[in-house]
Chains A and B, each alone.
Chain A
Amino acid sequence: MYDRTLPEDIVQSAKTVGIIVDEMLNPESPKLLLNYNKIVGIKETKGLTIEGEELENGVMGDIIVEDGVKIKEPVHLCFGVTPSEGVQEIIPRFIVGDDAEVSFLAHCSFPNAIKFTHKMEGEMIIGKNSKLFYEERHYHGKNSGAKVYPVFEVHVGPKSKFISLFSLTHGTVGTVNINMDIYAHQEAKVEIETKAYGKNKKDRVEIRDAVFLEGKDSKSIIKMRAAATNGGVVLMKGITEANAPGATGHVDCKEIVQGFGSIVAAIPIVRVTDDHARVTHEAAVGRVSQKELDTLMARGLTEDEAVDMIIRGIM
């Protein structure tokens, strides 16, 4: 019989990315915990329904927050896999009703990945006047052996707010290709922050965050932070389309490249089809300043430690 607990490797990697494990494992805290294609923990709370079905290679699930429900504590999601090889497919759907509030703290952990693929096809539907905060922290181990392909489609209802924070800054990356399409309705607000750090020549990150401001007076900001060192490659595309009067958006990309063979590319794409809309962008790509390095080395850090600290600060 399959062990219905979270393996220690996954718990440890949760700690590595800053998850408060005691909170995540607290029997009373709302959660959905997966180990490969097994559901190892579900805890619902008043107004929060979590349903899941185990598939051959993964899990399909619905997470539903009812109208008027405001969940104070974060809902923990853990998508973990310990084997070094295989394929995991996760198909989650998040439905947040009207006048509701919820925050998700997701932890995707593949600590032993060598030839492992994780695919996610997610959908988020947010009703009117609601708020959804979604944070996803990844840990892919030390072997650059993970291939991670998440695709998300998000609909942000009138006067609602969607905040997404994605970070992959601990351990190696492997291959990551993220695609996110977000549709903002009337007076909706969208904030996307993405951070990725490629540390060696096997690490390749491609992220495409696209926000479509379809509703009147909708607003968005996309903030992308990336670093590539020792041959890593990070390509980020922040797309904002403003298609309604009063829609305003901003794309802000900042990237650091350090070491032979490292490549970063920041591509802000803005498209405006309404003459009462406005989208701005800024992008900066460069190496770590020598003076910053010298300052930290004068405190006793090695050059690599100093680069790491500066990048983590920017992240």
Chain B
Amino acid sequence: MLLNVDNITIMPDDSDKTITKNVTFSMEEEEVHALIGPNGSGKSSIAYAIMGLKAYLPAQGKIIFKGKDITYASITERAKMGITLAWQEPVRFEGITIAEYLEIVAKNREESAKVLKLVNLDANKYLDRKCDNTLSGGERKRVEIAAAVAMNPKLLMLDEPDAGLDIIAYGELSSMLKKIKEETGASILIITHREETGGIADYASLMWDGQVIASGEFKEIMERYCLMARGEKKCMIEPCPKISFKARKQSV
């Protein structure tokens, strides 16, 4: 097993409010897993907890990565173990070029150009541009994904990769994610509430009011989500079984 999120509850440092409660789900190597649910259901908070952001360290529960308890490891330690996150709203860095940003992890310009190509950006046009507010939201988002991919991660978390994209970029997203999956071989955790974005996922976990209420095959979970979004909560009654990823791969 690659990742085991075991019963974690997140409460921000300065409040007694619970963001997520007893969240449990797991991922196998090479699995693409979608964390779906409405706005405010706690999806991004789970990604931040897996990444190790101080404000999102679990009040209880464990995060196990490749058999190692990383619940209280630093962000840097987790990154060095192969965990990374492409943010929903990437920050802009004043004075830092895209090449400099990518070369934190990419070995050289050539490697940086390669990851930019994966996100459909022309290296000749972009490498020397500043990673600041001269880039559009969509461009910055692609650069963010490229920087995460450049790490050659074991676990790549994409926090709402579809947010803020125009219709053309949105249309390209699915094939871009497929390419990333094929070329990196990374396990991918996609946080989304859109069916098209999560389309490459093998499995999904549905979050509602800070809890994972079902995990299973992506399509099935998405159907449940749609029903719940329409107010038909009866789908919560039956648990959704999760077939092991290895077993599913063997059956294909």
Q: Are A313 and B93 in contact (CB under 8 A)?
A: yes
| A201 vs B59: C-alpha distance when bound (angstroms) | 37
Residues of A within 8 A of B147 (CB): 299
Interface size (A, Cβ < 8 Å)?
A: 19
Report whether over half of chain A's contact residues are helix, strand or loop; otherwise say mixed.
Answer: helix
For B87, the closest partner residue in chain A by CB is A295
B85 touches A (CB below 8 Å)? yes
Report B-chain residues with C-beta under 8 Å of the C-beta of A294. Answer: 51, 53, 75
B1 in the interface (beta carbon within 8 A): no
A54: Cβ under 8 A from any B Cβ = no
With A294-B75, A313-B95, A313-B96 as given contacts, are A299 and B151 in contact (CB-CB < 8 Å)? yes
9 more A-B contacts (CB under 8 A) besides A298-B79, A300-B76?
A289-B91, A294-B51, A297-B79, A298-B78, A298-B84, A300-B80, A303-B76, A310-B96, A312-B96
Query: For B90, what are the chain A residues with a Cβ–Cβ distance below 8 Å?
Result: 295
Interface size of B by Cβ–Cβ distance < 8 Å?
22
- Determine the chain A residues whose CB is within 8 A of the CB of B105 once the complex forms: 299-300
Taken together as a complex, chains A and B put the C-alpha atoms of A300 and B80 apart, in Å, by 6
Q: Answer whether residue A21 sits at the interface, using C-beta atoms and an 8 A cutoff.
A: no
6 interchain residue pairs of minimum CB distance: A313-B95, A297-B75, A313-B96, A300-B79, A299-B104, A292-B91
16 A–B contacts, CB within 8 A, in A order: A289-B91, A295-B91, A296-B104, A297-B74, A298-B51, A298-B79, A299-B147, A299-B148, A299-B151, A300-B79, A300-B80, A300-B105, A302-B76, A309-B104, A313-B93, A315-B95
Give chain B nearest CB distance to A196 CB in angstroms. Answer: 15
> Is A314 among interface residues, defined by CB-CB distance under 8 A?
yes
Over the window 89-116 of chain B, the binary record of Cβ atoms lying under 8 Å from chain A Cβ atoms (1 yes, 0 no) is 0110111100000001100000000000
**Do A310 and B93 form a contact, CB below 8 Å, given A294-B53, A299-B147?**
yes
A20 an interface residue at 8 Å Cβ cutoff? no
Interface residues of A (CB under 8 A from B): 289, 291-292, 294-303, 309-310, 312-315
B85 smallest CB distance to A (angstroms): 5
Provide the residues of chain B in CB contact with A314, threshold 8 Å. Answer: 94-95
Residue of A nearest to B86 (CB): A298
Cβ A292 vs Cβ B104 within 8 A: no
Q: Closest B residue to A311 by CB, please name it.
A: B95
Chain B residues with Cβ below 8 Å from A296 are 104
Instruction: Give the Cβ gap from B150 to chain A, nearest Cβ, in Å.
Output: 8
- Residue of A at shortest CB range from B105? A299
Set of chain A residues within 8 Å of B91, measured between Cβ atoms: 289, 291-292, 295
**Assuming the A-B contacts A294-B53, A294-B75, are A301 and B95 also in contact, with contact meaning beta carbons closer than 8 angstroms in the complex?**
no
> Which residues of chain A are within 8 angstroms of B75 by Cβ–Cβ distance?
294, 297-298
- Contact between A312 and B104, CB atoms less than 8 A apart: no
Q: Which residues of B, 15-63, contact A by the 8 Å Cβ criterion?
A: 51, 53
| Known A292-B91, A296-B104, A299-B147; contact A309-B96, beta-carbon cutoff 8 A | yes
- CB contacts (< 8 Å) of A315 on chain B: these are 95
| Least Cβ–Cβ distance between B98 and chain A, in angstroms | 12
Determine whether the beta carbon of A312 is less than 8 Å from that of B95: yes
Contact A292 B76 (CB under 8 A): no
Among the listed B76, B93, B94, B96, which residue makes an inter-chain contact with A301, where contact means beta carbons less than 8 Å apart?
A: B76
Closest to A303 in B: B76
Q: In whole Å, how far is A294's beta carbon from the nearest beta carbon of chain B?
A: 6
Residues of A within 8 A of B87 (CB): 291, 295
Q: Which residues of B contact A301 (CB under 8 A)?
A: 76, 104
Which residue of A289, A295, A297 is within 8 Å of B76 (Cβ)?
A297
Contacts of B80 in A (CB 8 A): 300
A292 and B79 contact, CB distance less than 8 A: no
What residues on B are CB-neighbors of A297 within 8 Å? 74-76, 79
CB nearest to A299 among chain B residues: B104
Chain A residues, CB < 8 A from B93: 292, 310, 313
Nearest CB of chain A from residue B65's CB, rounded to whole Å: 14
Cα distance A302–B148 in the bound complex, in angstroms: 16
| CB neighbours of A289 from chain B (8 A) | 91
Of chain A, the residue at the smallest CB distance from B93 is: A313
What does the 1/0 interface line of B125-148 toward A look like (CB < 8 Å)? 000000000000000000000011
Q: Which residues of B contact A313 (CB under 8 A)?
A: 93-96
